[in-house]
Structure 1
């Protein structure tokens, strides 16, 4: 229990900030401008389901991909930490936009924006995928794996309801409130990224030092 509770908190906070439904709301409202509530509901449902399925595939197939491409877990932690830190830094500056869309691009995506760009990469971007793979590696028992899967499912369910209520929430939060929330989530994300980076660098440095010591002894 002492291990599971902090792990659950880490899963929930990291995935909520990486999914960033509050930051996605204004973009979603822009892309669906002029659509009916029924059409918006369909887009939200399809987008969250797509994002959830994609991230679950990477969560379970991450280790296979490591072995197939010969990628070390520590190397992926370092790369993931850098990606997540960059996302967090952008959010801290209150200028996080998962995808910049022009008017003509919005029209292009209008028929199927639930898959791209809303589902991928807005709700399921490289940061979220990297986070899922790293946390699955950290889940050393079945309980922790269950917590991770449950946390991902909960966050995407929460994302669904937040986007459903996006019109009301944007009016309540306002531009200032949205910026404050984004900066706070960005700060949390940067701290998580540093921990992820350090956990990847530390074993590599220890191995280098041990190899050097053994070489000197010989």
Structure 2
């Protein structure tokens, strides 16, 4: 009888895995708007190019502030219950890794430590672990916005039964890929140029035509390429 019950429980869990893959498929992230940002032109940047440098310590300090002064980022995995939160929470550190951003070998990677729980048909499944992810950037020219996209490559759970891991791993990967993305890095208001030049009776305007990027010396270098033009004055000259 005991073997029968165990077999039924395993069947329920494996059935859940099958249903997940059948209807959802292999976990994929939400594709951010725009097109992937390319590296700088080897022949040099156009004259109307502005450079924005984001260094690795700066970004990790921002993450540290989020964990210290705000609530850790959390995303739902299942319907919560009295004894099961049914969510995954990104932690500052855990499972031997520290959540952060790393600029290495011309790539952006982001290890994520997490804890969580999932309300399954056989009870609350609690887990901890870490995920390895890479970071891709995209430029949406229509909205003049630079987006980031986090792509979780692997999920590593701590000491979890293989049967449970088969259910939890794709859920964690899918949740992180879909709930985190897209990440707005720069929007039109931050990179727009529309400066009144009263003496010239007009506005100096510039539209972003392209954005290039490279990772170099532990820093992300964004090259914002503008197309400058003159426009009507939007500020009434003072007497």
Task: Look at both structures and tell me which one has the larger radius of gyration over its CA atoms.
Answer: 2
Question: TM range, normalised to the smaller chain?
Answer: under 0.3
The structure with the greater share of residues assigned to strand is 2
The structure with the greater share of residues assigned to helix is 1
